[in-house]
Copies of this chain bind each other. A is one copy, B any other.
Amino acid sequence: MSTQVFTGDTTFFPGIERIAFEGPDSDNPLAFKVYDANRKIGDRTMAEHLRFAACYWHSFCGNGADPFGPGSRAYPWDAGTGTALHKAEARLDAAFEFFTKLGVPYWCFHDVDLSPDADDIGEYEKNLQHMVALAKQRQQATGMQLLWGTANLFSHPRYMNGASTNPDFAVVARAAVQVKAALDATVELGGANYVFWGGREGYASLHNTQMKREQDHMARFLTAARDYGRSIGFKGTFLIEPKPMEPMKHQYDFDSATCVGFLRAHGLDQDFKLNIEANHATLSGHSFEHDLQVASDAGMLGSIDANRGNPQNGWDTDQFPSDLYDTVGAMLVVLRQGGLAPGGLNFDAKVRRESTDAEDLFAAHIGGMDAFARGLEVAHALLDVSPLEDWRSARYASFDDGDGQAFARGERSLTDLHSIASKRGEPQQRSGRQELYENLINQYLRR
């Protein structure tokens, strides 16, 4: 899992070396305080547990624009008078320099992050193939791997009313062009997963929408994509990504439970899992840990978009993860299900519009990696050393044998239960002890 630092003809991050682990007492902002890639936690290294990925869009395409102003960052790779393709090549070099200086083993991309978009289908495909070939060389040179690829089916105005759920079949067909190309690219680059984020798959107004029809179309589209992917040799996991709203007023992949139900209803649950994003979970009214657990309980937690929202803001702020309660909670779910592979922890996060130095981009990723590494340490100790799992098991012991177990197996009728209750009398009160659990977590955060 080691990667070579990549530098092409130009250095885009001068003065920044490969980020090192220096431990908790270091005051160097450009060093890891917790994340030590090769350190073992249980039977795996931190790198094996965490499978970090950096994303292409926020860090190399996003420039800080928001609805109230244009970008605040002028990237060197976007400068000059070169063609769009030349700039895309420079961007790729910048990205691989960043990935390898940071020491993140995986990356993720959309088709039109990597290569210039075009309304002309042939031109679009040619651009992408060119850039994929180049990216493949960079992967081989550095050891970097592709966590997942995807197609951007939400930015181009043609998708304003949805892609696979567009009321116009012509748009649905056009969306297939991009998915086909992005699947081809993902296979070519050895991607471990392929993601669908349904950015505009939803509605702006229920008044003008036939919701069931649109959702059926989405299922047809995913089925066609799955079949094509398998036909070209894609062995990885397909992932859909819950988000409740934004840009649309309502999005069909609202939360984990909705997505699980949708995949099962349409026979897609053997090939598809979920890519859970922290900020999407909280926008849907859940804690991050909750939506991870729902997916995991269904056997469908495939990968994680590691970011966070702002608790007072009702939109997707995509901040870098820093809250240790979130990272401990997430790693509890991941460790309990035995790991995330072939998924990983992708930093689908952007530095703030006001964070305009190159150092900020490194610091943000370092902070996120340290936060998850610390979450891993604490979660592992909670499961391995603390009484947490014993406490939980003891709560449910009455279902481990006897009538309780028989009930859990579906072997007790309502009248059976009535008889049992009549014999037993009033149940004894058992405290839920929530505060003791909370104290335990704070205790292990301190250790």
Contact with B along A283-300 (1 / 0, CB 8 A): 111110110011001000
Residues 258-297 of A at the B interface (beta carbon under 8 Å): 258, 260-262, 264-265, 282-287, 289-290, 293-294, 297
A225 to B413, CA, bound (A): 8
Number of interface residues of A (CB under 8 A): 156
- CB closest residue in chain B, given A159: B69
B285 touching A244 by the CB < 8 A rule? yes
A354 close to B211 (CB less than 8 A): no
Task: Tell me which residues from 213 to 271 in chain A have a Cβ below 8 Å from any Cβ of chain B.
Answer: 213, 215-217, 220, 223-225, 227-228, 244-247, 249-250, 254-255, 257-258, 260-262, 264-265
Q: Is A171 an interface residue (CB 8 A)?
A: yes
Q: Does A173 belong to the interface (CB within 8 Å)? A: yes
Taking a contact as CB atoms closer than 8 A, the residue among B119, B320, B427 that contacts A435 in the complex is: B320
CB distance from A284 to the nearest CB of B (A): 6
CA distance A70 to B154 in the complex (A): 10
The stretch among A6-14, A126-134, A415-423 that forms the contact with chain B is: A415-423
Chain B residues with CB under 8 A of A154: 68-69
Pairs across A and B, CB under 8 Å, 22 listed: A64-B160, A67-B67, A67-B316, A69-B160, A160-B353, A160-B429, A175-B417, A204-B432, A208-B437, A213-B396, A223-B410, A228-B413, A245-B312, A246-B313, A249-B310, A249-B313, A261-B261, A315-B315, A320-B435, A322-B442, A352-B432, A352-B434
**Contact yes or no, A213 B399, CB < 8 A:** yes
**Contact A297 B157, CB 8 Å, known A169-B398, A180-B418:** no
B398 pairs with A313, CB closer than 8 A: no
Q: Contact check: which of B24, B316, B367, B424 meets A438 at CB < 8 Å?
A: B367
Residue from the list B257, B354, B404, B428 in contact with A258, Cβ < 8 A: B257
Instruction: Check: A311 CB closer than 8 A to any chain B CB.
Output: yes
Contact A435 B172 (CB under 8 A): no
Q: A67-B247, A161-B354, A168-B398 are in contact. List 19 more A-B contacts (CB 8 A).
A: A67-B67, A167-B398, A168-B395, A173-B418, A173-B421, A174-B427, A176-B421, A204-B353, A206-B293, A228-B415, A247-B353, A258-B261, A260-B261, A264-B264, A286-B312, A287-B311, A352-B432, A360-B435, A370-B442
